[in-house]
Chain A
Amino acid sequence: QVQLVQSGAEVKKPGASVKVSCKASGYTFSSYGITWVRQAPGQGLEWMGWINSYNGNTNYGQQFQDRVTMTTDTSTSTADMELTSLRSDDTAVYYCARVNQAFNDGEVIYGYFDYWGRGTPVTVSS
């Protein structure tokens, strides 16, 4: 069965960086992308970006362009998300999810997130 196991909770100070890991199992890792979504306390879901697990190409949400880096390691079926220059409003639960997409001429035409990790709480506080 498909599983995404995320790393544990983190507490960081403003200005620091955090790296969250997501280990996949139960499917061919390079056949699906991984996306990252976060949810601040009491708020809705916010898409951060996705990475093509096959070739490492990334597509980041505009509000995260300058601060986020997503990587994958196909040898360990692991995806990582690093967020830098943390602020208090980055306090949230960070989820990884498998992204199931359709392509046309190499471009995504739609996608959905069919399996999710349990989330990693990240607290940013001085």
Chain B
Amino acid sequence: SYDLTQPPSVSVSPGQTASITCSGDKLGDKYACWYQQKPGQSPVLVIYQDTKRPSGIPERFSGSNSGNTATLTISGTQAMDEADYYCQAWDSRTYVFGTGTKVTVL
């Protein structure tokens, strides 16, 4: 089976940049997307097709994907960005989620 690995936690100060990685074998050959999930809420798509932002998602969210790693970057992080983040990709007829990263804004 295909695995996507994320760091369990990332801490960032308000206004600084948070980078969340997602590692998988030849992930750069696939399209990655990212979801934000706040406590008690449903996930929200924040990045799709590696770099695209859905309507309504702030410009401070950006994505990249190359080699074995996809990265979600939050520039000028705000307190409201504190949440769990999951990457996701399609492999061998299966959708796979990453292990999830808790972003704490200190």
Contacts and interface: CB of A to CB of B under 8 A. Distances in A.
Contacts, number: 60
Contacts of A59: 93-94
B86 A44 contact: yes
A15 interface: no
A62 interface: yes
Contacts of B97: 37, 44-47
A118 to B, nearest CB: 6
Interface residues on A, range: 20 to 34
A114 B48 contact: yes
Interface string A111-122: 111101111000
Nearest to A117: B42
Contact of B100 (A44, A62, A108): A44
A117 B42 CA distance: 7
A95 B95 contact: no
Interface in B26-46: 30-31, 33, 35, 37, 42-45
Interface residues of B, number: 25
Interface string A96-122: 010010000000111111101111000
Interface in B76-103: 86, 88-90, 93-100
A62 B99 CA distance: 18
Interface string A27-65: 000000001010000001111001000000001011000
Contacts of A110: 30-31, 49, 89-90
Interface of A: 35, 37, 44-47, 50, 59, 61-62, 95, 97, 100, 108-114, 116-119
Interface of B: 1, 30-31, 33, 35, 37, 42-45, 48-49, 54, 86, 88-90, 93-100
